[in-house]
Every structure is written in structure tokens, then in C-alpha cells.
């Protein structure tokens, strides 16, 4: 099939949905499909730096990405996604759909303007939509009344977790297939022989809980002697937070890496002894957790609904969200027993391979596509 994947965010800025769409495209291509992604793009330059505080990917998007305009930051669900709202993007999407003549279109966050709404309004072929977000989704109160009727044009609906399904059904009742986020699984991963280091991977947003980890860090460092690598968060904002907490990168064993490539992220996870995910809520699925588990890296994570669906006792150590003392104790417990830590890492990799392999998920998507096309 020739498949179009529509993402309402910008290729230039990493996020869970953007990563999901990229890995989905690769997995479908491995199964012989012709796949293109329609999404935003913010070229490097002064204008992009003025609009966006986050550091993005340099250079142009790959040939399989069809860019349809710049993005703007729109606060939603406790995060700051880069959404394409330009009126001109409507015509670019319409032209791309007419030109490419896809057999099927797969929309991510289908109720998000402009790319998804424009596709729902203009595309006449079979459509599948994946709902990622969880929580109150208060913005849907407006969307439901203005363009919510377009959801009826979806031939099949997918939710990445039961939480995401419940959140979507509150506004858009109907049947949803549960298909979890897939994960990039390295060809090899040794749970042992790791650097005495833990990793945080996520944006610098309140709900990601980086401030909780950094507040607990002096005690974690004193008890374990471990180093910390902070990945994905804006370096300037992290360093301001460190200064406010009176922490020093060099003296306290902290390295602020900022945005890094997917290949470098895999290398970091393959080298670390554990991933710490101190999110406070608003997570529909623990994608960063499955990424660590695929690298045979065990997890210390907040006991919240989105993460609870991923964590198991033999792969992860939970702690109450926002509890700095419990976080410090959980990390110490993880690092104090190396054989147990390595066993948890090995079990995590098996779990990722069995539940979250993109090859298996692509096969499930094929079945849904065939049903939608029929």
C-alpha cells in the first residue's frame, strides 16, 4: 500500500508522537509499503530561534517527509507541543493528498489542527486515527463543537493505552483498538558492564519532574556516587534550575546534554545503569520507559497511571510521584545490588521485544489498515 502518515507537529522538534511516526514509517517500509509523512518543519535560523526556545534538529527533513509549514508553540495538556496552525498549510496538505494519491492515511492526534483537521475535511480515502494523549483534554470542549463531527470520517480508531482510550472516549464515543507505542530495539544490549551513571530523558516541563530528580540529586550522589546525564531538556533552562538549587555540573557529577540524536540516545541508554523518570502525571504511555527497557536498562519511575501500564516488578522500581526521599531510596536500592540490577535490565529487554517490537506492531497495523480499506 501507499500510506500517508499525518502528524500535526514539527519534524524539527523531537517528541514522543514524532518519534512514534518515524519508527512506524520505518517498520511499515520493512514490510514492503511505500510510506510518506506529512508534518511541519522549522528550518534552522534566526526566525526559528525567535519562535522556539527549544533546540531542534539541524538540516532539512528526509525525502520521505512532506513539509507543510512552520509550527508555533501551543500549551496543551501540561506540555508545549509545536503545532502547525498556518492557514496556508491547509492548501499544502490538500495539494499533497491530491498529488500523492495514498491508498490509506493514518492520522496521529486526529482532532489537532491544522494538518489532521484539513486531512479529515478533504481526503476521501480510508483513514485511521491514533489517539495518544490522556487526561482532561479540556481543549476538546471547543474542538468537539467546531470540528468534532469530522471524527466520524475515521474508519478505525486506535488508542496507545487504555488511559488514552478513556480520555478520547469522553469526547468522542466509539470503538477503539489498543495498540501500544512501539520502541526502537537495538540489535544487541548487555545489561551488565555499565558505567556508574543514571539517565533522565525528557523535555524540561513541570510534568516531567526533572526538578524533583535534581532536588533529590545531592542525596542520591552522596549515597551512590553515581553520575547523572540529563538528555532532551533545554540546557539553558536546566542550568538555571541547577543554579537555583545550588548544584554544580562538575562538582555534582551532572552532564547536561540537551537534544541529541536517536542514535546517541540509544548509546546513552546502553551505557547507563538505570533510567529515572520522575514525571508527575499527564503521561498516557511510558514511551521513554520502553526505550530504556529495550536497551536492557532498568527503570526507576513515578508510580503514575501511564507508566504503571509499562512497569513490571522484575523490570522497574516505582516510587510515589514528587517524593524526593522515596526517589533517592529507589535509586540507591537499584544501584546497590548489581546482579539484581543486571537481571532487571535483561528482563526489561525481553519485555520490550515481546510487547513493543515495531515489527509486531506494524503487522497489527496492517490488519487494521486492511479492515479500514475494506
CATH number at residue 281: 3.40.50.2000
Q: How far apart are CA 55 and CA 217, in angstroms?
A: 25
Mean pLDDT of the region 62-87: 80
SS3 9: strand
The answer to whether residue 4 scores a pLDDT higher than 80 is yes
Radius of gyration of the chain (CA): 21
Residue 187 lies in a domain: no
User: Given this model, what pLDDT does residue 284 score?
Assistant: 80
The answer to whether residue 187 scores a pLDDT higher than 90 is yes
User: Given this model, what pLDDT does residue 341 score?
Assistant: 98
* Statement to judge: residues 37 and 171 lie in one domain: yes
* Statement to judge: residues 347 and 274 lie in one domain: yes
Query: Residue 285 contacts by C-beta under 8 Å, 6 or more apart in sequence?
Result: 16, 132, 160, 161, 163, 164, 180, 181, 306, 309, 310
What DSSP assignment string belongs to 221-286? HHHH--EEEEESS-HHHHHHHHHHTT--TTTTTEEEEES--HHHHHHHHHH-SEEEE---S--SS-
Residue 192 lies in a domain: no
User: Given this model, what pLDDT does residue 50 score?
Assistant: 57
Residue 202 lies in a domain: yes
Question: What mean pLDDT is reported for the chain?
Answer: 91
* Statement to judge: residues 25 and 170 lie in one domain: yes
* Statement to judge: residues 342 and 207 lie in one domain: yes
User: Given this model, what pLDDT does residue 184 score?
Assistant: 87
Q: For the whole model, what pTM was predicted? A: 0.83
- Is the peptide bond between 21 and the residue preceding it cis, with omega within 30 degrees of 0? no
Q: How far apart are CA 148 and CA 154, in angstroms?
A: 11
Q: How far apart are CA 160 and CA 203, in angstroms?
A: 20
- A 10 A CB-CB count for 139 gives 16
pLDDT tens digit string along 8-56?
999 988 788 998 999 999 999 999 999 999 999 887 665 556 566 566 6
* Statement to judge: residues 155 and 130 lie in one domain: yes
User: Given this model, what pLDDT does residue 151 score?
Assistant: 92
For residue 331, which phi and psi values (nearest 5 degrees)?
A: -65, -45
Residue 27 lies in a domain: yes
* Statement to judge: residues 155 and 285 lie in one domain: no
User: Given this model, what pLDDT does residue 118 score?
Assistant: 94
Residue 169 lies in a domain: yes
* Statement to judge: residues 300 and 272 lie in one domain: yes
* Statement to judge: residues 350 and 365 lie in one domain: no
Q: How far apart are CA 135 and CA 112, in angstroms?
A: 15
Q: Structural domain of residue 151, as residue ranges?
A: 2-182+358-373
* Statement to judge: residues 308 and 231 lie in one domain: yes
For residue 159, which phi and psi values (nearest 5 degrees)?
A: -125, 145
**CB 156 within 8 Å of CB 371:** yes
- A 10 A CB-CB count for 63 gives 7
pLDDT tens digit string along 256-298?
999 888 899 999 999 999 999 999 988 888 899 999 999 999 9
Q: How far apart are CA 209 and CA 278, in angstroms?
A: 5
Mean pLDDT of the region 61-73: 89
- Cα 164 to the chain's mean position, in Å? 14
Q: What is the 8-class DSSP label of residue 311?
A: -
Following CA atoms 265, 271, 274, 280 in sequence, which dihedral angle do they give, to the nearest 10 degrees? -20
CB neighbour burial string for 280-297, b if at least 16 within 10 angstroms, e if fewer: bbbbbbbbbbbbbbbbbb
Residue 73 lies in a domain: yes
CB neighbour burial string for 143-167, b if at least 16 within 10 angstroms, e if fewer: bbeeeeebbebbbbbbbbbbbbbeb
| Strand 82-83 relative to strand 72-73, pairing | antiparallel
Q: What's the number of domains the chain is made of?
A: 2
* Statement to judge: residues 167 and 207 lie in one domain: no
pLDDT tens digit string along 310-363?
999 999 999 999 999 999 999 999 999 999 999 999 999 999 999 999 999 999
* Statement to judge: residues 154 and 41 lie in one domain: yes
Percentage of residues in the chain with pLDDT exceeding 70?
95
Residue 191 lies in a domain: no
* Statement to judge: residues 178 and 207 lie in one domain: no
Q: If phi over 0 gives left and psi between -120 and 50 gives alpha, with beta otherwise, what is residue 32?
A: left
pLDDT tens digit string along 126-147?
999 999 988 777 777 788 878 8
Residue 189 lies in a domain: no
Q: How far apart are CA 3 and CA 37, in angstroms?
A: 9
Mean pLDDT of the region 175-202: 95
User: Given this model, what pLDDT does residue 54 score?
Assistant: 61
Amino acid at each position: 500500500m501507499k500510506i500517508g502518515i499525518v502528524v500535526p507537529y514539527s519534524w524539527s522538534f523531537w517528541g514522543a508522537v514524532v518519534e512514534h511516526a518515524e519508527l512506524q514509517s520505518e517498520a511499515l517500509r520493512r514490510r514492503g509499503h511505500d510510506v510518506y509523512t506529512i508534518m511541519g518543519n522549522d528550518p534552522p535560523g534566526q526566525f526559528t530561534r525567535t519562535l522556539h526556545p527549544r533546540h531542534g534538529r539541524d538540516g532539512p527533513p528526509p525525502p520521505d517527509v512532506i513539509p507543510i509549514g512552520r509550527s508555533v508553540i501551543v500549551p496543551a495538556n501540561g506540555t508545549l507541543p509545536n503545532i502547525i496552525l498556518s492557514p496556508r498549510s491547509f492548501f499544502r496538505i490538500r495539494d499533497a493528498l491530491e498529488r500523492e494519491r495514498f491508498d490509506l492515511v493514518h492520522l496521529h492526534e486526529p482532532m489537532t489542527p491544522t494538518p489532521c483537521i484539513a486531512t479529515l475535511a478533504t481526503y476521501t480515502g480510508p483513514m485511521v486515527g491514533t489517539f495518544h494523549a490522556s487526561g482532561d483534554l479540556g481543549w476538546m470542549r471547543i474542538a468537539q463543537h467546531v470540528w468534532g463531527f469530522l471524527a466520524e470520517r475515521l474508519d478505525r480508531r486506535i488508542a496507545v493505552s487504555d488511559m488514552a482510550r478513556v480520555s478520547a472516549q469522553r469526547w468522542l464515543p466509539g470503538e477503539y483498538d489498543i495498540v501500544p507505542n512501539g520502541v526502537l530495539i537495538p540489535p544487541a544490549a548487555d545489561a551488565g558492564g555499565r558505567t556508574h551513571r543514571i539517565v533522565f530523558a525528557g523535555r524540561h516541563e513541570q510534568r516531567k519532574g526533572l526538578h524533583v530528580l535534581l532536588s533529590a540529586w545531592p542525596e542520591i550522589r552522596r549515597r551512590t556516587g553515581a553520575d547523572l546525564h540529563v538528555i532532551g531538556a533545554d540546557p539553558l533552562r536546566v542550568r538555571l534550575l541547577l543554579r537555583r538549587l545550588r548544584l554544580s555540573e562538575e562538582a555534582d557529577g551532572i552532564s547536561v546534554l540537551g537534544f541529541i540524536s536517536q542514535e546517541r540516545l540509544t548509546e546513552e541508554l546502553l551505557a547507563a545503569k538505570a533510567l529515572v523518570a520522575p514525571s508527575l502525571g499527564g503521561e498516557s504511555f511510558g514511551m521513554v520507559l520502553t526505550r530504556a527497557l529495550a536497551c536492557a536498562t532498568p527503570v526507576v519511575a513515578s508510580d503514575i497511571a501511564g507508566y504503571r501500564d509499562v512497569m513490571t516488578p522484575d523490570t522497574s522500581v516505582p516510587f510515589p510521584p514528587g517524593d524526593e526521599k522515596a526517589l533517592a531510596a529507589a535509586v540507591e536500592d537499584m544501584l546497590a545490588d548489581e546482579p539484581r540490577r543486571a537481571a532487571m535490565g535483561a528482563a526489561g529487554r525481553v519485555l520490550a521485544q515481546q510487547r513493543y517490537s515495531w515489527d509486531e506492531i506494524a503487522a497489527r497495523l496492517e490488519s487494521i489498515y486492511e479492515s479500514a480499506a475494506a
